[in-house]
Amino acid sequence: MNQDDQDKKQIEEHKKNPMGNFSDSINRSMIGDLGALTKGGCLIRVITLVIIIGGLLILSQCSY
């Protein structure tokens, strides 16, 4: 099963159960979804990597 099939099944499930979709959205906003950061294209991955590296550099400078 490829990604498109999974996306179509998920969309159909959300149409059948809109409150489940709402609940899922609320849970993800409170907990976070790290997988969503890697689902994007190349640009999103590069930006995420730059932010993570920048954060680590700032933390390393503050620890002295």
Q: Output the pLDDT for position 64.
A: 65
Q: Output the pLDDT for position 13.
A: 82
Per-residue confidence at 27, pLDDT binned at 50, 70, 90? confident
Q: Output the pLDDT for position 28.
A: 72
Per-residue confidence at 7, pLDDT binned at 50, 70, 90? confident
H helix intervals, the chain: 3-16, 18-31, 34-38, 42-62
| Residue 15 pLDDT greater than 70, yes or no | yes
Q: What is the 3-state secondary structure (H, E, C) of 18-35?
A: HHHHHHHHHHHHHHCCHH
Q: Output the pLDDT for position 43.
A: 82
